[in-house]
Amino acid sequence: MPAETIACRCEDVSEAEIEAVLDEGFTSLEAVKRILRCGMGHCQGRTCRTTIARMIVRKTGRPLAEVLTVSSRPPLKPTPIGILASAKRKARA
Protein backbone atom coordinates (compact mmCIF):
# COMPACT_ATOMS: atom_id res chain seq x y z
CA MET A 1 0.00 0.00 0.00
CA PRO A 2 1.59 3.36 -0.99
CA ALA A 3 2.21 5.70 1.95
CA GLU A 4 -0.16 8.37 0.66
CA THR A 5 -3.09 5.91 0.42
CA ILE A 6 -6.01 7.16 2.51
CA ALA A 7 -6.80 4.46 5.09
CA CYS A 8 -9.53 6.40 6.90
CA ARG A 9 -11.68 8.23 4.37
CA CYS A 10 -13.98 10.00 6.83
CA GLU A 11 -11.15 11.74 8.65
CA ASP A 12 -8.77 11.81 5.72
CA VAL A 13 -5.92 9.90 7.41
CA SER A 14 -3.16 8.36 5.29
CA GLU A 15 -1.37 5.07 5.73
CA ALA A 16 1.86 7.00 6.43
CA GLU A 17 0.25 8.96 9.29
CA ILE A 18 -0.94 5.71 10.89
CA GLU A 19 2.45 4.09 10.36
CA ALA A 20 4.11 7.03 12.15
CA VAL A 21 1.87 6.59 15.20
CA LEU A 22 2.59 2.82 15.26
CA ASP A 23 6.33 3.57 15.03
CA GLU A 24 5.97 5.84 18.04
CA GLY A 25 4.78 2.82 20.05
CA PHE A 26 1.03 3.44 20.06
CA THR A 27 0.13 0.05 18.64
CA SER A 28 -3.53 -0.40 19.54
CA LEU A 29 -6.62 0.47 17.51
CA GLU A 30 -7.82 2.44 20.55
CA ALA A 31 -4.73 4.64 20.63
CA VAL A 32 -4.68 5.17 16.85
CA LYS A 33 -8.35 6.17 17.02
CA ARG A 34 -7.71 8.70 19.77
CA ILE A 35 -4.64 10.24 18.16
CA LEU A 36 -5.82 10.36 14.53
CA ARG A 37 -9.64 10.13 14.86
CA CYS A 38 -9.79 7.02 12.62
CA GLY A 39 -13.15 5.43 13.41
CA MET A 40 -14.76 8.59 14.76
CA GLY A 41 -16.07 9.87 11.45
CA HIS A 42 -19.24 9.16 9.53
CA CYS A 43 -18.58 5.43 8.96
CA GLN A 44 -17.63 4.90 12.63
CA GLY A 45 -14.73 2.67 11.62
CA ARG A 46 -16.72 0.34 9.39
CA THR A 47 -14.37 1.14 6.51
CA CYS A 48 -10.97 1.63 8.15
CA ARG A 49 -11.07 -0.64 11.21
CA THR A 50 -9.87 -3.83 9.53
CA THR A 51 -7.25 -2.03 7.41
CA ILE A 52 -5.69 -0.43 10.48
CA ALA A 53 -5.97 -3.66 12.49
CA ARG A 54 -4.02 -5.45 9.74
CA MET A 55 -1.35 -2.74 9.83
CA ILE A 56 -1.03 -3.34 13.59
CA VAL A 57 -0.79 -7.10 13.04
CA ARG A 58 1.96 -6.52 10.48
CA LYS A 59 3.81 -4.23 12.90
CA THR A 60 3.46 -6.24 16.12
CA GLY A 61 2.88 -9.82 15.02
CA ARG A 62 -0.08 -10.04 17.39
CA PRO A 63 -3.09 -12.08 16.20
CA LEU A 64 -5.88 -10.12 14.46
CA ALA A 65 -8.49 -11.22 16.99
CA GLU A 66 -6.43 -9.66 19.77
CA VAL A 67 -6.01 -6.40 17.86
CA LEU A 68 -9.63 -5.86 16.79
CA THR A 69 -10.69 -4.48 20.15
CA VAL A 70 -12.71 -1.30 19.63
CA SER A 71 -16.35 -1.36 20.68
CA SER A 72 -19.00 -0.59 18.10
CA ARG A 73 -21.42 1.83 19.69
CA PRO A 74 -25.08 2.57 19.03
CA PRO A 75 -26.85 3.73 16.97
CA LEU A 76 -26.28 1.09 14.28
CA LYS A 77 -26.26 3.77 11.60
CA PRO A 78 -26.35 7.58 11.70
CA THR A 79 -29.89 8.55 12.77
CA PRO A 80 -31.43 12.05 12.75
CA ILE A 81 -31.96 13.75 16.10
CA GLY A 82 -35.60 14.46 15.15
CA ILE A 83 -36.33 10.74 14.59
CA LEU A 84 -34.72 9.70 17.88
CA ALA A 85 -36.55 12.48 19.73
CA SER A 86 -39.94 11.35 18.40
CA ALA A 87 -39.19 7.65 19.04
CA LYS A 88 -39.14 8.46 22.73
CA ARG A 89 -42.52 10.16 22.66
CA LYS A 90 -44.13 7.14 20.99
CA ALA A 91 -42.62 4.81 23.56
CA ARG A 92 -44.14 6.91 26.31
CA ALA A 93 -47.61 7.11 24.74
Partner 1 sequence: MTHSLDSIVIGGGVVGTACAYYLARAGHKVCLVERSYLAAGSTGRCIGGIRAQFGTETTIRIMQESIRLFQGMKEELGTDIDWYAGGYLFVAESEERKKAFLKVMELQRQLGLDVRFISPEEAARLVPGLNTDGVVGAAYCPTDGQANPFAVTYGYARQVKARGGRVLTDTTIRSIERRNGNSMLATDKNERLSAPVVVAATGPWLKQTAAMVGLDVPVLAERHESLVTEGVGRLFDSMLVDYRGGGCYFHQHVRTGHLVGCYTPVPNVPGDRADSSFEFLCEMPRRMVNLMPKLAPLKVLRQWGGSYEMTPDGSPFVGSTPVEGFYLAGGMCGHGFMLAPAVGKLLAEIITTGKSSIDLAEFAFGRSFRYAELLR
Would you count residue 31 as binding partner 1 (CB under 8 A)? yes
* Helix 49-60 and helix 15-23, axial crossing angle in degrees, nearest 10: 40
- Residue 26 or 54 having the CB closest to partner 1: 26
Would you count residue 59 as binding partner 1 (CB under 8 A)? no
Would you count residue 74 as binding partner 1 (CB under 8 A)? yes
Q: Please check whether residue 71 is in contact with residue 33, taking contact to mean a CB–CB distance below 8 angstroms.
A: no
Those residues with Cβ within 8 angstroms of residue 19's Cβ, 6 or more apart along the chain or in another chain? 3, 55
Binding site for partner 1 (CB under 8 A): 24, 26, 28, 30-31, 34-35, 37, 40-42, 44, 73-75, 78-82, 84-85, 87-89, 91
